[in-house]
């Protein structure tokens, strides 16, 4: 889709670390300041879970496995993985895979660093 930053990143292969047939795992920008933070993105431009084909659904688990195994292969394993899929600011279905390490703040404040303000209720 024109003017979709995720479609553009997929076309340019920016920061791709893993991929399955229908999903791509990409590193989040370093300026987020969150070690290991990844995006799982549908290769096809879809704006809703309801638009996924049966084949994309079947491959979704493989995409998640690739993202989680990428994080697990790092030198320091996180205590938790936070997942979020909102697709409001960027209307292209994608999942935020946000590792939380022992030194990170727990819960919503940590996830808020990944998503930006305005998406999650204040604690």
What confidence tier does 117 reach under pLDDT thresholds 50, 70, 90?
low
Which residue intervals of 13-89 are DSSP H helices?
Answer: 54-72
* Cα–Cα distance for residue pair 23/26, rounded to 1 Å: 10
Dihedral, CA of residue 10, residue 94, residue 110 and residue 35, to nearest 10: -30
* Cα–Cα distance for residue pair 33/51, rounded to 1 Å: 32
Percentage of the chain surpassing pLDDT 90? Answer: 73
Q: Which of 31, 45, 43 is nearest to 114 (CA)?
A: 31
* 60 part of a folded domain: yes
- pLDDT confidence of residue 44: 97
* 67 part of a folded domain: yes
Query: Residue 1 pLDDT > 90, yes or no?
Result: no
Strand arrangement, sheet containing 16-19: 16-19, 23-27, 38-42, 94-100, 80-84
* 35 part of a folded domain: yes
* 123 part of a folded domain: no
Which of the pair, 1 or 12, is modelled with greater confidence? 12
Digit-coded pLDDT (tens) for 49-101 = 999 999 999 999 999 999 999 999 988 899 999 999 988 889 999 999 999 99
* Cα–Cα distance for residue pair 54/11, rounded to 1 Å: 23
* 84 part of a folded domain: no
- pLDDT confidence of residue 118: 56
User: How many structural domains are present in the chain?
Assistant: 1
Q: Which domain holds residue 29?
A: 5-77+91-115
* 69 part of a folded domain: yes
* 10 part of a folded domain: yes
* 47 part of a folded domain: yes
CATH number of the domain that residue 110 is part of: 3.30.428.10
- pLDDT confidence of residue 76: 85
């Amino acid at each position: 889709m024109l003017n979709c930053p995720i479609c553009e990143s997929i076309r340019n292969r920016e920061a791709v670390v893993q991929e399955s047939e229908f999903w791509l795992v990409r590193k989040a920008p370093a300026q987020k300041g969150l070690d290991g933070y990844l995006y799982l993105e549908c290769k096809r431009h879809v704006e809703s879970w309801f638009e996924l084909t049966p084949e994309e659904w079947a491959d979704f688990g493989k995409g998640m496995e690739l993202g989680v195994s990428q994080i697990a292969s790092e030198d320091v394993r996180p205590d938790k993985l936070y997942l979020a899929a909102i697709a409001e600011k960027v209307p292209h279905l994608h999942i935020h895979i946000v590792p939380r390490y022992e030194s990170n703040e727990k819960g919503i404040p940590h996830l808020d660093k990944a998503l930006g303000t305005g998406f999650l209720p204040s604690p």
